[in-house]
Structure 1
């Protein structure tokens, strides 16, 4: 009887929510009911990647991307920028002890977790300005590597070949004042995603500006931009956003605009992190819908980065929540949270601030951690199975917890 009552209560609640949302484009993500019984399942691989050579160690791992060969690229903060000091711990500065040396900021692994190459960073006399605090990484359909920056004065984007040869710098570095309506520079970019079909780069611009900007991926020509709800004339907020779940969502992106992810069916998914929301647009910037994820979350918010399952319909969204230390599995057609996994901790399958997320061709998930986390983890796809719990905790290999 108790189970029956719970199901009836869930159905009643769902009907009420639908009634309340009629005529509105916004909906809140709800937990899965007993009728949503299956979802993708995963298992952490505690042996991926292989140890780095040369005494290298990672700083805040601030972006992850997967190329057509299932090679995994990360970008991390290999030095401090006045805000982040990833190697301030005793013994981690080069030359102070046996351990350790910061790895170059861009590191490439093959599918087995072996190091392929590492490169990047400031170079005297280079024709580009390396960001004070690199942030986000993209490998486009031509194999080129894009990074942005979110340090103070980072107002540009860099593009390289996958072995580190410089291609282009877009935007004007060194501009500290945000202006979301300016078409000559960016302001503290969080992420870049390139759409092969249109050859356009979509920019989550980001920490200073509050918009999505779109460039021609070959020439860097500025094509268009938009803000929250598709607004074309953006009024940047003058004060830091203070989260209050009892008030309506902000009419502007409160920031950071932390992810931009194109789907195969022509939609653009945007993470507005401190507002605990995902907004969905078409590629032209026309607003489609909004969903709140864990809207009671304060501080840095719940929507940090996302990617899609690799089936043709991209049926599922995987969303990294660095504040609550979880990854959500969401049914894309309904934006319903089916289940979540992870938790706070330093063991495999747990996180200290899961920051970025990407999937490979086999459906495996890769997550990175910033702050004290400073690592990348792999979660092996195990197929569609019954949902064992709404909050699954650490996804250790079967039998390892017994």
Structure 2
């Protein structure tokens, strides 16, 4: 195994052709695990993105690169505290204010679009009661805690949620105009429901169907038709009927890293209680992050539903928040990138056999490091983007600098 410094492998052409970028590139921790296989190399762009001077990013539980190579970030303004928002509460003459939930950046990191919030979704809600009896009342459809982001070829935006009662996926135009929804807030009905969701964590839309990782209350994948959003399929681990029950009560942040399941079980017959991502691979297979069980399961669709293809086990002994958080692919389809939340790494796998080639990143707060690594995506030239939640609260850009020899 060989440790690699990203900048040491950077070609002279990159340095000559993009001096402004090269000046802000920072080495990242990485390791080439299998030296018989070439591995992409990366350096983090410490100047990216360029937020407006009065803006501070909150937790970022969603990420998408669109067909124009613009980068979309899902933001939680509700994760920002009093000291973060000095410009809003009158305690600072300089910074900062909370940005809205949906942010679009160009390749240079400039902010192009910003929108989000309850006013854009159907319904209204109020809070009633006192103390422990205080509850949300009404039919407000905007999630209390947004989670998961997908931007389709038409630049329509899909958003999920994992807060109290967030059993809904919302669909908007690129400018935030509401289009339609799947499910209804405050309504859930278990793993076999064909109508209601249970804290959907992620969404994938391909023009033919909508896949939902219905994974913080329920433990399943559910598929709907692209045009009418009619139910098509649902399944659990290994392509079987979803098992393992549902989460009792609402999900809260304390449950992200503590559970009574006795530890990850990469051979579990059911998904764990955080089914965290769903996406299609270049060969049209479906990749599902079973984060609790430190694995990604791969499926292939058939005329009757889906068939199980393979388990990809990521650092199986890991505890805490566990590993498999998100999946993305290199532009040529050769590599799979798996975000590992607990270990603060992006694993690089060869897609044809899912053999681990290497990894980059580590836990920490400096550029190229991660705190609660959440999401990963890739642009058309192979640059990798990541987001973080909890106290991480940022998006990072990793410039592809070349390949190992």
* Contact 1:255/1:275 (<8 A) preserved: no
Distance, in Å, in 2 between the alignment partners of 1:287 and 1:214 is: 16
* Contact 2:203/2:210 (<8 A) preserved: yes
Name the residue aligned to 1:291.
Answer: 312
Is the alpha carbon distance of 1:218 and 1:56 closer, same or farther for their aligned partners in structure 2, counting shifts above 3 Å? farther
Give the alignment partner of residue 115 of structure 2, picking from 114, 119, 136.
119
* Contact 1:210/1:236 (<8 A) preserved: yes
* Contact 2:294/2:323 (<8 A) preserved: yes
* Contact 1:32/1:337 (<8 A) preserved: no
Greater shift, 93-102 or 135-144, is seen at: 93-102
Give the alignment partner of residue 142 of structure 2, picking from 127, 130, 150.
130
Which whole-Å deviations, capped at 9, do the CAs of 1:158-207 have from their partners, x for residues lacking one? 000001111012112112x55010111111111101123xx211111011
Q: State TM-score, norm by structure 1.
A: 0.81
* Contact 1:32/1:336 (<8 A) preserved: no
Matches within 5 A, 1:53-132: 53=53, 55-79=54-78, 86-92=79-85, 94-98=88-92, 99-123=95-119, 126=122, 129-132=141-144
C-alpha displacement of 1:58 = 1.3
Gaps of 5+ in 1: 4-30, 80-85, 387-402
C-alpha displacement of 1:335 = 1.4
* Contact 1:241/1:254 (<8 A) preserved: no
Which whole-Å deviations, capped at 9, do the CAs of 1:44-63 have from their partners, x for residues lacking one? 1111111225x121111000
* Contact 1:62/1:356 (<8 A) preserved: yes
Is the alpha carbon distance of 1:373 and 1:358 closer, same or farther for their aligned partners in structure 2, counting shifts above 3 Å? same
* Contact 2:34/2:357 (<8 A) preserved: no
1:344 aligns with 2:363: yes
Distance, in Å, in 2 between the alignment partners of 1:317 and 1:371 is: 25
Gaps of 5+ in 2: 3-30, 124-139, 249-258
Distance, in Å, in 2 between the alignment partners of 1:184 and 1:234 is: 18
Distance, in Å, in 2 between the alignment partners of 1:117 and 1:248 is: 40
SS at 1:70's partner residue?
coil
Matches within 5 A, 1:220-235: 220-232=229-241, 234-235=243-244
* Contact 1:192/1:260 (<8 A) preserved: yes
Q: State TM-score, norm by structure 2.
A: 0.80
C-alpha displacement of 1:244 = 3.4
Give the alignment partner of residue 249 of structure 1, picking from 252, 267, 290.
267
C-alpha displacement of 1:355 = 0.4
Distance, in Å, in 1 between the alignment partners of 2:262 and 2:210 is: 30
SS at 1:274's partner residue?
helix
* Contact 1:178/1:208 (<8 A) preserved: no
Name the residue aligned to 1:36.
Answer: 36
* Contact 1:64/1:357 (<8 A) preserved: yes
Is the alpha carbon distance of 1:238 and 1:203 closer, same or farther for their aligned partners in structure 2, counting shifts above 3 Å? closer
Name the residue aligned to 1:215.
Answer: 224
Distance, in Å, in 2 between the alignment partners of 1:161 and 1:338 is: 38
Moved over 3 A (4+): 31-35, 124-128, 237-241
Is the alpha carbon distance of 1:318 and 1:113 closer, same or farther for their aligned partners in structure 2, counting shifts above 3 Å? same
* Contact 2:148/2:159 (<8 A) preserved: yes
C-alpha displacement of 1:92 = 2.4
Distance, in Å, in 1 between the alignment partners of 2:263 and 2:173 is: 43
Give the alignment partner of residue 214 of structure 2, picking from 190, 205, 216.
205
Name the residue aligned to 2:329.
Answer: 308
Name the residue aligned to 2:134.
Answer: none
Give the alignment partner of residue 397 of structure 2, picking from 378, 384, 394.
378
Distance, in Å, in 2 between the alignment partners of 1:369 and 1:248 is: 24
* Contact 1:259/1:304 (<8 A) preserved: yes
1:141 aligns with 2:175: no
Which whole-Å deviations, capped at 9, do the CAs of 1:51-81 have from their partners, x for residues lacking one? 225x1211110000011101110111111xx
